[in-house]
Structure 1
Amino acid sequence: MSTQPDIVASANAFAPAGARQRYVQCANSAGLHRMAYTEWGDPDNPRVLVCVHGLTRSGRDFDRVAAALADVYRVVCPDVAGRGLSDWLPDASRYVVPQYIADMVTLIARLDVETVDWFGTSMGGLIGMSLAGLPGTPVRKLLINDVGPHLEPEALGRIGGYVGQPARFATLEEGIDQAALLAASFGPLTLDEWREINAPLLRQREDGAWEFRYDPAIATPFRASSPEANAAGEAMLWHLFEAITCPVLVVRGALSDLLSRGTLAQMVARGRDVSSIEIAGVGHAPAFLDPAQIALARRFFVGDDDAS
């Protein structure tokens, strides 16, 4: 099993108030790894919302969403393998959606529920879209935050320019500021909000420096992709998306460079039960810290027509 390097800061240094920190054992091609998740609300509630983050982020991005919906849901926010408090994979080639789907199926089995609702941002949306399109899927409702089957090449180039690059920071605040710079398109967040979502992304090394918590090797499959592989992947994603039968809400940041308006229009046209909304003044991807954005999610998942 591949674990994260030893660190000075406790694994629970930034644990959210009101949540439970848990782990589930998952399988990979070389053995087993632990996937961390935070859990909010009644642990016996059969109504579950799974919230899955973007490429270099963590489940802690959803603290406010989870707190706001924990009155209705048992909210589960995993750290995808190689991120947050989860183990790093021994084989970097396994940092791909099929492995993540397998891990999420294991997580859902641990939760002992038949169905889940899904909130996926960027990579988390791709995982949710892929899982929701499979026969026998447990996904009952799906919110896709600023991603689609077609990803704009310019945005992929931008992301590829920083993911996995070595970075060391003298202080926690320096690391938080760098993470904010990389995620500036999330929207006009306050300094406190940037600290809230970015501090969990960082850890202190034994030498006193700070670094990002995710495994740099997550960039390996990202950088190894070819135009042919990208085209095949997009075709598969469209196939899975068109197979989704549950209600889908696609949220787009109006300034997004990853999800174009053209792709969004295709998703609405080609999907079976797809609605969409744009959030003004935000790029990739809306952070869902703003009360209005959280209210949007609540209306979709817990609307008056779905109070049962």
Structure 2
Amino acid sequence: MPTPDGELWQDIFFVANDGLRLHARHYPAMGRRGRPAICLPGLTRNGRDFHDLAVALSTDTHTPRDVYAIDYRGRGLSDWDKDWENYTPLIELEDTLDFMALAGVHQAAIIGTSRGGLIAMVMAALRPAAIGAVVLNDIGPVIESRGLMRIAGHLGKTPTPESWEDAIALVREMNERDFPAIPAEQWEEIARAIFKEENGKPARAYDPDLGKAFEGVDLSQPGAEQWGAFSALTPFPTLALRGENSDILSPETLAKMGEVHPNLETETIEGEGHAPMLKDQRSIETVAQFLAANDPTRGR
């Protein structure tokens, strides 16, 4: 349902406990029959990544739901933190929970891409009452070191393009090998989600100090395993998506996740890497059907 000014979403600005001004998008649903969804992006990404999915979920003919897409501190339209050590999943979880309290959202469907999925695991352990269902987008309790090395290689180091044409070309060049299924016309949409606009030109949409979190980490070693955190999700219906070409979530880890979680559904997104863009019809329908099947109002 469009907002009064004709947009599909409303911008919400709120203040974190430490005074930082943060941002989220709200895609309102007509009727609000499904449980609300909270979308949590990847490390350097922002709520714009979820636009197509959020529109589809909020305007669904049978089960529309409110959708909120969060910009963590230092990303998107949220303020940058002067202390880079505050860029942690735990503080980002605290910001998310503060927002959920402000918005009156409880037992939400948490849709977490990459880092967002890690935050969902921590939420399940520390604040389980906030969760009703979970979608993990290309993340699990084991993070492949190859993927971490790739991320560290360009984190805060990618040059800011001079024009939107350059931005589109850059984003496509960096990603099309692992995302051959992405249609050519969608690279502009993706570029405009990755970069924000300032004075008509693309600008970095995240604080480059995020890269300091990787300093001193031995990326040649396997990532720390978080099976304990993942096990906190077992009380909740969970959908795990994996990009076919992912270098973060391996097929072996995905299979073991299914052994550990008694109510886990899995789906591999063909022709996409880390992390699936959630823009194609199959991905969107998979998420929508999973959420509808696990709504508390189902069958009423």
Q: TM-score range by the shorter chain?
A: 0.7 to 0.9
Relative to 1, partners in 2 of residues 1:146 and 1:114: Cα closer, same or farther, differing over 3 Å?
same
Of the three residues 287, 290, 302, the one matched with 2:280 is 290
Name the counterpart of 1:146.
138
What secondary structure sits across from 2:16 in the alignment? strand
Q: Which amino acid aligns with 1:168?
A: T
Q: Distance in 2 between matches of 1:135 and 1:272?
A: 21
Distance 1:289 1:257, change over 3 A: same
SS at match of 2:272: coil
Which position in structure 2 is the counterpart of 1:103? 95
CA change 1:296–1:179 in 2 (3 A) is same
Residue 7 (structure 2) aligns with: 17
**1:38 aligned to 25, 49, 62, which one?**
25
Say if 2:149 and 2:220, in contact at 8 Å, map to a contact too.
no
> Please, which of 183, 195, 210 is the counterpart of residue 188 of structure 2?
195
Q: How far apart, in 1, do the equivalents of 2:254 and 2:290 lie?
A: 18
User: Matches of 2:99 and 2:180 in 1, distance apart?
Assistant: 31
The answer to whether the 8 Å contact 2:143/2:222 transfers is no
Structure 1 unpaired stretches of 5+: 1-14
SS of 1:196's equivalent in the other structure is helix
Q: 1:254, 1:283 within 8 Å by CA — same for their partners in 2?
A: yes
**Deviation (angstroms), 1:222:** 2.6
Match for 2:56 among 65, 68, 86? 68
Contact in 2 for aligned 1:186/1:285 (Cα 8 Å): no
Whether the aligned pair in 2 keeps the contact of 1:205 and 1:211 (CA below 8 Å) is yes
Residue-pair matches, total = 287
Q: 1:274 to 1:96 in 2, by over 3 A?
A: same
Query: Residue 173 of structure 2 corresponds to which residue in structure 1?
Result: 181
Distance 1:268 1:24, change over 3 A: same
1:230 deviates by: 7.6
Q: Evaluate the alpha carbon distance shift between residue 134 and residue 272 of structure 1 in structure 2; reply closer, same or farther with a 3 A threshold.
A: farther
Which residue is 1:220 aligned to?
212
For the structure 1 residues 248 and 34, does the alpha-carbon distance in structure 2 shift closer, same or farther, using more than 3 Å as the test?
same
1:88 to 63, 66, 80: 80
Q: 1:228 to 1:261 in 2, by over 3 A?
A: closer
Aligned AA (2:22): M
Query: For residue 262 of structure 1, what is the amino acid of its counterpart?
Result: E
- Of the structure 1 ranges 39-48 and 91-100, higher mean CA displacement relative to structure 2 is found in 39-48
Cα distance change, pair 281–68 in 1 and its aligned pair in 2 (3 A) = same
- Equivalent residue in structure 1 for 2:240, among 231, 238, 250: 250
Q: CA deviation at 1:127?
A: 1.1
| Pair 43,214 (structure 1): closer, same or farther in 2 beyond 3 Å | farther
Contact 2:121 2:232 in 1 (8 A): no
In structure 2, the residue matched to 1:6 is none
After superposition, give the CA deviation of every residue in 1:49-75 in whole Å (9 maximum; x if it has no partner): 011111222111111111111032110
Amino acid at match of 1:95: Y
Q: Distance in 1 between matches of 2:168 and 2:232?
A: 40
Q: 1:186: Cα distance to partner?
A: 4.3
- Would the alpha carbon gap of residues 37 and 165 (structure 1) be closer, same or farther in structure 2, given more than 3 Å must change? same
Code of the residue aligned with 1:63 in structure 2: it is: H
**Structure-1-length-normalised TM-score:** 0.84
Change (3 A) 1:210 1:277: closer
1:239 is matched with: 228
Instruction: Indicate the SS of the match to 1:99.
Output: helix
Identity of aligned residues (%): 29
Which range moved further: 112-121 or 130-139?
130-139
- 2:259 aligns with 269
